Structure 1
């Protein structure tokens, strides 16, 4: 027997009219324009500020000047890294909230961040890893392993996986990993000193080599996530309704977990754990376009890139000689935004 979805929710998931789609398209084009403006600010603002006109000229004409060297060798790689990693974190957060049907889910829920951190600690403490190149692969492996463990624990038994069980499994794995990391870094000052520079979350010191190392994984994660947009719309109605509508619930959750691992694992490996971006941005995206993941996922990518890169630019303006790392700035900027979203009378629906 086919179970019909509730009329209100089914109406929300019907294809939007041409006018609504045009408005959504205009909105994402506007967001891309804002991202382009933040891109220019990112290559102009730093310990040595470069006038916007000069930055724009040097961006297209590498004349070998000191400004050109700064922009092409330092700021453009940093900016591109911020855009790609921000998009990956925002998309992974939106995907996690859809998979778990939990509006408070974020990339740390499956233990991805702490899985990456635990692998970094193992590499530093026991294998002598000291370079960003080494951190990337250890962090990615740790993030992937933690995600697999959480999914296996959350889906064991006859009833299979469910949002509540995945959340509980993620909380348990996170607690264990946190205890392990604390034990190692508190007993070894050298490990703590090396680990803290990665753990703060930063775009500084990462170049195009770091981006190229994780880009294939992130691209694959983006493709998987966008393909899952329609099944995620069905999954929002509940497992039974989704199955009745023809969606394979288990396959959707497995593919979604793989995409989260690729996206968040790659981003965390490259720049360290970043807070609030994956939590707050999907709420803002749903506020703009509603619960349709065909639009919500792309919006989450663009808005998260704006937030992460904008926070990085803002962190460069606090002092003429020092910068506030982007992992700190996203918490300062993202927390008030998330509080404002939570105080709305009618929260955006998943």
Structure 2
């Protein structure tokens, strides 16, 4: 397979999905009206729908989907576990819990503080989950890692419910945000999230040879000169930052981080120099596809994006668990 053919295919798919996203919804907007809205603006209905609704949600899906796809790849690399993903491991729940505490108890509307709280919550939760899994049986064990992640996620989700029920003033706003999705989100947060995602991508490109070595066992990676613990912690921090900024923008969105890296590996390229951009692109494509499908599943109403992603993610999770079990038995 040509080296950059998968990248070109994914970019073409993303471009097509973005174009579709700008055209479809409760009301189909013809291409001429979409182009006029993008190039000339205006305050008519078509221009308002395209510029204030569809363009922002398309941008959110692109950036958040890419960030979660890359976060999933980093977590799977750091743990050597194909089931590692920010939603399943409770990292998204940690970010959400931190934001809820900040908003409820301080009443702040500062976007930078919200993004910072989400990143710190994601990081602390990641450290807690991996510490629990390591103490129980090692972070590469899918059963221990998933059990720790699901337990922490359930605990934090319960905490979120208690906090928001106790504060009716912010309940409605937070419940909408916690549902996870790409529509009606604060686009200004993208100005904070997008540079962070770019910086992490650049860092991953420099770390690519080290990430390849980390996929071997610790002894081999150490013999190759890789400071295993330091690199693993760095990768976990980068993944938590990506998950945190994603949650701050779109709320908790699961399964993209699980599916995107596995789609990227279908290219046949094992090196992270290829997998990093492919996981990023695959995550964006998945997010856009789910967002478009959500507009029609229960038309004219709109289904939660998380439901559509679960349709893909849950069967994949079951398949990976079964494959891991059969591999261990062999």
TM-score, normalisation: structure 1: 0.79
Secondary structure class of the residue paired with 2:306: helix
Question: Alignment length, in residue pairs?
Answer: 323
Note the alpha carbon deviations across 1:22-47, whole angstroms, 9 max, x for none: 2x411210110011000000111112
Is 2:62–2:288's contact at 8 Å kept on the other side of the alignment?
Answer: yes
Q: Structure 1 residue aligned with 2:172, among 173, 193, 196?
A: 193
The equivalent residue for 2:268 is: 289
Residue segments in structure 2 that go unaligned for 5+ positions in a row? none
Post-superposition CA distance 1:36-60 (Å, at most 9, x none): 00000011111221124543x3365
| Distance in structure 2 (CA, Å) of the matches to 1:163 and 1:319 | 39
Structure with higher Rg: it is 1
Report the Cα distance in structure 1 between the residues aligned to 2:155 and 2:50, rounded to whole angstroms.
43
Is contact 1:90-1:305 (8 Å) kept?
Answer: yes
Report the more deviating stretch, 339-348 or 197-206.
339-348
Contact 1:96 1:106 in 2 (8 A): yes
Q: Does 1:142 align with 2:121?
A: yes
Note the 1:1-350 alignment, pairs <5 A.
20=1, 22=2, 24-55=3-34, 57-58=35-36, 61-62=39-40, 64=42, 65-108=44-87, 110-129=89-108, 135-150=114-129, 163=140, 167=145, 170=149, 173-185=152-164, 192-318=171-297, 321-336=300-315
Once the 2 structures are TM-superposed, how far is the Cα of residue 216 of structure 1 from its aligned partner?
Answer: 2.5
Q: CA deviation at 1:72?
A: 2.6
Deviations 1:138-158 (A, max 9, x none): 3333223333555677789xx
| SS of match in other structure, 2:226 | coil
- Which structure 1 segments of 5+ residues have no match? 1-19
Task: Report the 3-state secondary structure (helix = DSSP H, G, I; strand = E; otherwise coil) of the residue aligned with 1:289.
Answer: coil
Whether the 8 Å contact between 1:224 and 1:256 is mirrored in structure 2 is no
- Root mean square deviation of aligned Cα: 3.4
Deviates more, 1:244-253 or 1:176-185: 176-185
Over 3 Å counting, the alpha-carbon distance change for 1:203 and 1:232 in structure 2 is same
Using the TM superposition, name which of 24-33 and 37-46 deviates more: 24-33
1:152-182 Cα offsets, whole Å, 9 max, x none, are 77789xxxx9645993765664454344334
Determine the C-alpha separation between the residues in 1 that align with 2:303 and 2:112.
23
Runs of 4+ in 1 over 6 A off after TM superposition: 130-134, 152-156, 340-348
